Amino acid sequence: MSDAGGGTAARVIYDGHIVRLELMENKWEIVRHRDAVAVLALNDQGEMLLVRQFRRAVDALTVEAPAGLVDDGEDAAQAARRELQEEAGLDGDMERLTHFYASPGFCDEALTVFHATNLRESRLPHDEDEEGIEVLWMPPAAVLDGLKDGSLTGSASTVTAALYGVLLGLQRAQARP
């Protein structure tokens, strides 16, 4: 039994590698989920880095910011750098943009979004190409259009990173002579 807040004990229904399902007072189903990160990366042309990949949970191809779970022993910034390397073969300096809960009504997964700057090519020593991941660079206007028309699908962290990316890309474009 764990304390799920407010002094109410919860009964564990399922305890897996990524999620844990608890039942409180025989009516509240609470998902305990490992924390995650997403990375906003813009190239010198102001284009935003996105990845296209198949996601089994939704049985569809999604277009997302590089993202993933925080592994044991990592902090969020380390996880963001690792995900950027694994999914796009890039590394950079990480600046924390925001931190939020995607679905606090039933899940405690916290998402941290980082802005990667000073991008450079980099692969982890054990890295192989992530199977089925396609790297895309999109201008801010195309990202905004994709968010509006639904062609850019992914997660709350992706939408947050995309909106930050659009704002930064537009600011860069306006600042150019």
134 is catalytic: no
User: What is the domain range of residue 40?
Assistant: 34-175
b/e burial code for range 92-126 (CB count within 10 A of at least 16 → b): bebeebeeeebeeeeebbbbbbbbbeebeeeeeee
Domain-embedded: residue 151: yes
Q: The domain spanning residue 120 has which CATH number?
A: 3.90.79.10
pTM of the predicted model as reported, rounded to 2 decimal places: 0.83
Q: Answer yes or no: is 2 within a domain.
A: no
Q: Which residue has the higher pLDDT, 69 or 161?
A: 69
Tokens standing for residue 29: 């189903």
For residue 133, the Cα-to-chain-centroid distance in whole angstroms is 15
Task: For 61-119, write each residue's pLDDT tens digit.
Answer: 988 899 999 999 999 999 999 999 999 999 999 999 989 998 999 999 999 999 999 99
Is residue 152, in this structure, part of any structural domain at all?
yes
Q: Answer with the residue of higher pLDDT: 117 or 5.
A: 117
How many domains is the chain partitioned into structurally? 1
- Asked if residue 159 is part of any domain, the answer here is yes
Does residue 6 lie within any of the structural domains? no
- Residue 35 binned pLDDT confidence (cut-offs 50, 70, 90): very high
CA distances from 115 to 37, 57, 131, 162 (A): 11, 27, 25, 11
Classify residue 103: in a domain, yes or no: yes
96 in a structural domain = yes
Cα-based distances in Å from 87 to 35, 123, 149: 18, 9, 25
Candidate list 64, 86, 128, 131, residue with the active-site label: 128
Q: Answer whether residue 4 shows pLDDT above 50.
A: no
Does residue 25 sit within a domain?
no
**CB-based contacts of 22, cutoff 8 Å, min separation 6:** 2, 4, 10, 11, 12, 13, 29, 30, 31, 32
